[in-house]
Chain A
Amino acid sequence: MVTTYAVVRGTELSTPSRVASILNRNVSALRSGPSYWLVLFSGFFEPVLYLLSIGVGVGALIGNIEIGDKALGYAAFVAPAMLAVSAMSGALAETTFNFFFKFKYVKTYDGMLATPLKPTDIAIGELGWAMLRGSLYTGCFLIVMIAMNLTTPFWALAAFPATMLVGLAFGAVGMAISTMIRGWQDFDLVFTGQFAMFLFSGTFSPVQNYPLAVEILIGLTPLYHAVELVRGLATGVLGWGMLVNVAYLALMTVAGLMVASRRMAKMLLA
């Protein structure tokens, strides 16, 4: 056991290399079994199925929808919303179920915190991973959209970074919520909230169709901002309001990360 190693000791690791070690862990987990791939696979198909059934199917009964000065086919209206939803649900799946399981049951983070890693490193690493998962979905979904002529390659490239921001925002807030969740039953509440947002955030119909009070209420919820931003970019209808959307999502990211790492420190480093 007495051997000499060339590794420099006692120096503090940089934050990027600590975060990278967490991503490395998740890549190893991905490689080591088919179960994770199955989960990934099913997560991609859900929004595609909605696009086909409602966007194309129901869309055949509906006329064009006006966005700015553009008239969009219904499928082209719904597709960017489904794109935003895949970014959201991809990241959320990672920072709710998977995070909670590692946090409370298999104590993965207790093990990590016995090393130089800090709660913030773990939060950033896991969020980065969640965003990558969401981006895998949105990347594939954008290809589907291009193939179905619902966007152009140029606007798809513009929308892609926006979906990454959406993943970060929802992933961060989901992680913060996961640190507060008491048991699996609490997830039902989260999923109900997620589903309500999925239905009403301007996903299937313009929010202007609702009474003003409802419209204002929807304007406060996060998926609305995600859909507005992603739809604007995917359809090439730009507006200053998108800066508000970006600010809203960036704020979610920062606040979610801060709450999540503080709660982790409080619970795991008591």
Chain B
Amino acid sequence: MTQEPLIYARDLVKKFGDFTAVNGIDLEVAPGEAFGFLGPNGAGKSSTMRMIGCVSTPTSGELRILGMDPVRDGSRIRGRLGVCPQLDNLDPDLTVFENLTTYARYFGIPRSEGRRRAAELLEFVQLTEKADGKVEPLSGGMKRRLTIARAMVNEPDLVLLDEPTTGLDPQARHLLWERLFRLKQAGTTLVLTTHYMDEAEQLCDRLVVMDGGKIVAEGSPRHLIDTYSTKEVVELRFGSDTPASYVDKLEGIGDRLDPLPDRLLLYSADGEGAVSEVHRRGYTPSSVLVRRSTLEDVFLILTGRTLVD
């Protein structure tokens, strides 16, 4: 049985004046999926998320969320979404617990039910002992967890997370991933944006890579790696020599060469074989690392190395 997609977009466009933030994308997200938007800053991820969250009107194209029209049924759709924005907008005038209970009221959830859910969710994000304190003293990771708890207060059918772990330390990120993974296992549909490859690999069943307002690739992390990169990557360093000067010398080894300022990346299905070939040609790198291809390689291949900030 095929279920109706929770998100359906065809040729979706968002313009701000002359600037085209989202330039004709097609999307379908099925119930229970963990779906990711991957892309550099300015790729159009957040603009897309805001349209999905029904807080931004598409300039053109078709968009249906939970089978409804975001322009006509925005309020009703938002009632079934959970949103964790990129920048925390927790209420500083309220306690941690009240942040959840007052938010529950915005969804029309009865008071007693709101209190019950707030207690349960604080337990889930491990903030129970902070319940009566204000928001301000919380660490970045705690605030983010509270924002996620707040996004869950209406038991959403679809949770939108815009860069959920940006700016957090590794411990906080891992704790957050673990919580999100649990939500995913419980069947919650997650849609997230990220520019962290490890995050996308950890959490997403399927993802799209966005660049310049367009979708440039789509698939599971594994599929993307298989399609756009080679099985292995060799990282070669040549002491004080510039890696770029070796591009001609190593031409023909592997599928492609990518010189970085500090090292040369050699994409090849057989890393060890490529290293032997480098030695056979008479070059002795100061260090050699053969590793599996990651989503990061795909990302850099697809979106280039130009800084877009």
List chain A residues, Cβ under 8 A from B90.
111
Per-residue CB contact flags for chain A residues 1-17 toward chain B (1 = under 8 Å, else 0) read: 11101110111110001
**Which stretch in A22-30, A74-82, A255-263 binds the other chain?**
A22-30
A48 CB, min distance to chain B CBs, angstroms = 27
List chain B residues, Cβ under 8 A from A13.
75, 79, 107-108
Q: Is A192 an interface residue (CB 8 A)?
A: no
Q: Is the CB of B105 within 8 A of A24?
A: yes
Please judge, given known A-B contacts A29-B93, A108-B91, whether A116 and B75 are in contact too, CB under 8 Å: yes
Q: Is the CB of B75 within 8 A of A118?
A: yes
Q: Is the CB of A2 within 8 A of B187?
A: yes
Q: Is the CB of A1 within 8 A of B92?
A: no
B16 CB, min distance to chain A CBs, angstroms = 7
B57 CB, min distance to chain A CBs, angstroms = 7
Q: Is the CB of B79 within 8 A of A107?
A: no
Partner of B83 from the list A5, A12, A108, A114 (CB cut-off 8 Å) is A114
Q: Is the CB of B79 within 8 A of A111?
A: no
Please judge, given known A-B contacts A29-B93, A107-B89, whether A113 and B103 are in contact too, CB under 8 Å: no
By secondary structure, the A interface counts as loop
Per-residue CB contact flags for chain A residues 141-173 toward chain B (1 = under 8 Å, else 0) read: 000000000000000000000000000000000
Partner of B94 from the list A11, A28, A116 (CB cut-off 8 Å) is A28
B73 CB, min distance to chain A CBs, angstroms = 8
Please judge, given known A-B contacts A1-B186, A32-B98, A114-B83, whether A17 and B93 are in contact too, CB under 8 Å: no
Q: Is B85 an interface residue (CB 8 A)?
A: yes
Please tell me the size bucket of the interface on B. Answer: 35 or more
Interface residues in B74-101 (C-beta closer than 8 Å to A): 74-76, 78-81, 83, 85, 87, 89-95, 98, 101
Which residue on chain A has the smallest CB distance to residue B124?
A1
List chain B residues, Cβ under 8 A from A28.
93-94, 98, 101-102
Q: Is the CB of A107 within 8 A of B108?
A: no
Q: Is the CB of A106 within 8 A of B108?
A: no
Residues of B within 8 A of A (CB): 16, 53, 55-57, 74-76, 78-81, 83, 85, 87, 89-95, 98, 101-103, 105-110, 113, 117, 120, 124, 134, 152, 154-155, 182-183, 186-188
Residues of A within 8 A of B (CB): 1-3, 5-7, 9-13, 17-18, 20-22, 24-25, 28-29, 32-33, 36, 106-108, 110-118, 268-270
Instruction: Give 26 CB contacts A-B under 8 Å.
Output: A3-B155, A7-B113, A9-B80, A12-B75, A13-B79, A18-B106, A21-B108, A22-B106, A25-B94, A25-B105, A29-B94, A32-B98, A106-B91, A106-B92, A110-B89, A111-B85, A111-B90, A114-B53, A115-B78, A115-B154, A116-B75, A116-B76, A116-B78, A118-B74, A269-B57, A270-B16
